[in-house]
């Protein structure tokens, strides 16, 4: 059977355009792929459209709007997830309007579908006390405990995304002063993040213990499992949650769910509370736009507002004297 125009353009978009011309990361491509997988499932199950016969003529703004409604009403997706799916669809049709100008009107109609406004959840983070309690849990008498402590300290110290952490190789670590680590983030952009003295000490011991100091191991994963394969994101999450559960009986204020990304939020909030400029926080976190970093400043303002709300209320009307009860003032006014 001859491939449809939809199949041809979508394959070119995901397989060649995004990785080759846009230099998009593999995780972003997977996210886009999952969006179109859901769209194809919707067309098959809800519209009775055979996937192998789906053409661009069948995909219009009405179908996309119905698909988004299906995501929220049937699958129970929240506004943020719906907007993420719509962003992936927008990206494809923005590409398509250049590849197939005859469908420019349909592309623009789909691009005109608005994102849904939704309330932003407040940025959650760990207090300094809670963080210290979690970092005190790994057993430093065992090799696995020393590895886990090094991993968690590096995760916090650099404010890295979990994928950036698992992608680290020995080559990315420079312990000579000034010690820095090279992180590769979204869009394969690299940044160099300075390391604190304690983290440098932990990394030095870790590299020596794991015998990762020879030149032939520069491309070896920094953190790996028993098969010497790099840790996965799920593996890092498991390590973190294990020690969080151990710490719950020793401290209060730990959220119900603690993820590696929450540790990233924690680093940003601690820097902000230490009066570090937002520009430096943006560069450390690898944000493209300062507006992304400003969410931490807004969260900190909300914390201050909540603290002020705990103060005693100002005196009410019954507690304050009124001017007409002030006899010396009344006498002076009458003398004018």
Kindly state whether residue 175 falls inside one of the protein's structural domains.
yes
Kindly state whether residue 190 falls inside one of the protein's structural domains.
yes
The kind and range of the H/E element at 180 are strand 180-184
258-304 pLDDT per residue, tens: 999 999 999 988 988 888 888 888 888 888 777 777 777 766 665 55
Contact yes or no for 249/134 (Cβ under 8 A): no
Q: Are residues 132 and 94 in the same domain?
A: no
Confidence of residue 233 (pLDDT cuts 50, 70, 90): very high
Residue 81 lies in domain? 5-111
Q: Are residues 83 and 190 in the same domain?
A: no
Kindly state whether residue 325 falls inside one of the protein's structural domains.
no
Catalytic residue among 264, 265, 270, 282: 264
Confidence of residue 110 (pLDDT cuts 50, 70, 90): very high
Q: Which of 97, 94, 136, 103 shows the shortest CA–CA distance to 244? A: 136
Q: Are residues 28 and 59 in the same domain?
A: yes
CATH of the domain at 245: 1.10.443.10
Q: Are residues 134 and 102 in the same domain?
A: no
Kindly state whether residue 219 falls inside one of the protein's structural domains.
yes
Catalytic residue among 94, 229, 261, 298: 261
Both tokens of 248, joined, read: 């719950």
Q: Is residue 324 predicted with pLDDT exceeding 70? A: no
Q: Are residues 155 and 214 in the same domain?
A: yes
pLDDT of residue 274: 84
- What is the percent of the chain with per-residue pLDDT over 70, rounded to a whole number? 89
Kindly state whether residue 240 falls inside one of the protein's structural domains.
yes
Active site residue 186: yes
Q: Are residues 162 and 277 in the same domain?
A: yes
Active site residue 264: yes
Catalytic residue among 13, 42, 156, 296: 296
Q: Are residues 161 and 299 in the same domain?
A: yes
Confidence of residue 57 (pLDDT cuts 50, 70, 90): very high
pLDDT of residue 315: 54
The kind and range of the H/E element at 182 are strand 180-184
Domain finish residue from 81, 111, 141:
111
Give how many domains the chain has, as a whole number: 2
Active site residue 171: no
Kindly state whether residue 258 falls inside one of the protein's structural domains.
yes
Q: Are residues 270 and 143 in the same domain?
A: yes
Domain finish residue from 46, 77, 111:
111
Contacts made by residues 74-82, CB under 8 angstroms, sequence distance 24+: 78/118, 79/116, 79/117, 79/118, 80/118, 82/116
Kindly state whether residue 330 falls inside one of the protein's structural domains.
no
Q: Is residue 168 predicted with pLDDT exceeding 60? A: yes
Catalytic residue among 82, 90, 125, 161: 161
Q: Are residues 194 and 98 in the same domain?
A: no
Active site residue 161: yes
Distance, CA of 290 to chain centre? 15
Burial of 257 from C-beta contacts in 10 A (0-12 / 13-18 / 19+): exposed
Q: Are residues 147 and 193 in the same domain?
A: yes
CATH of the domain at 45: 1.10.150
Catalytic residue among 22, 44, 182, 186: 186
- Mean residue pLDDT across the chain: 88
| Report for 21-25, 104-108, 116-120, 183-187: range of highest mean pLDDT | 104-108
Query: What is the DSSP secondary structure assignment for residue 156, as one 8-state letter?
Result: H
Q: Are residues 76 and 181 in the same domain?
A: no
Kindly state whether residue 119 falls inside one of the protein's structural domains.
no
Q: Are residues 156 and 227 in the same domain?
A: yes
pLDDT of residue 336: 66
């Amino acid at each position: 059977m001859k491939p449809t125009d939809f199949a041809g353009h979508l394959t070119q978009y995901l397989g060649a355009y995004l990785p080759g011309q846009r230099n998009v990361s593999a995780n972003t491509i997977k996210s886009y792929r999952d969006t179109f997988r859901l769209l194809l499932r919707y067309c098959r199950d809800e519209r009775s459209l055979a996937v192998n016969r789906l053409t661009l003529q069948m995909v219009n703004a009405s179908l996309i709007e119905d698909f988004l409604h299906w995501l929220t009403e049937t699958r129970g997706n929240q506004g943020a997830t719906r907007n993420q799916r719509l962003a992936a669809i927008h990206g494809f049709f923005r590409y398509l309007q250049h590849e197939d100008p005859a469908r420019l009107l349909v592309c623009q109609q789909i691009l005109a579908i608005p994102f849904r406004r939704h309330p932003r959840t407040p940025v959650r983070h760990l207090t300094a006390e809670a963080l210290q309690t979690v970092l005190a849990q790994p057993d430093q008498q065992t090799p696995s405990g020393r590895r886990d402590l090094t991993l968690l300290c590096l995760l916090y110290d650099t404010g890295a995304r979990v994928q950036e952490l698992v992608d680290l190789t020995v080559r990315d670590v420079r312990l000579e002063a000034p010690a820095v680590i090279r992180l590769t983030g979204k869009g394969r952009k690299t940044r160099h993040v300075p390391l604190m003295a304690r983290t440098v000490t932990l990394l030095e011991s870790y590299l020596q213990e794991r015998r990762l100091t020879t030149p032939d191991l520069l491309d070896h994963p920094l953190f790996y499992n028993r098969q010497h394969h790099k840790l996965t994101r799920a593996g890092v999450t498991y390590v973190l949650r294990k020690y969080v559960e151990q710490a719950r009986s020793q401290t209060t204020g730990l959220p119900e769910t603690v993820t590696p990304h929450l540790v990233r939020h924690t680093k940003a909030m601690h820097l902000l509370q230490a009066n570090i400029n937002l520009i430096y926080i943006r560069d450390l976190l690898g944000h493209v736009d300062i507006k992304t970093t400003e969410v931490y400043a807004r969260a900190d303002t909300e914390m201050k507002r909540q603290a002020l709300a705990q103060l005693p209320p100002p005196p009410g009307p019954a507690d304050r004297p009124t001017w007409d009860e002030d006899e010396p003032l009344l006498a002076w006014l009458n003398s004018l």
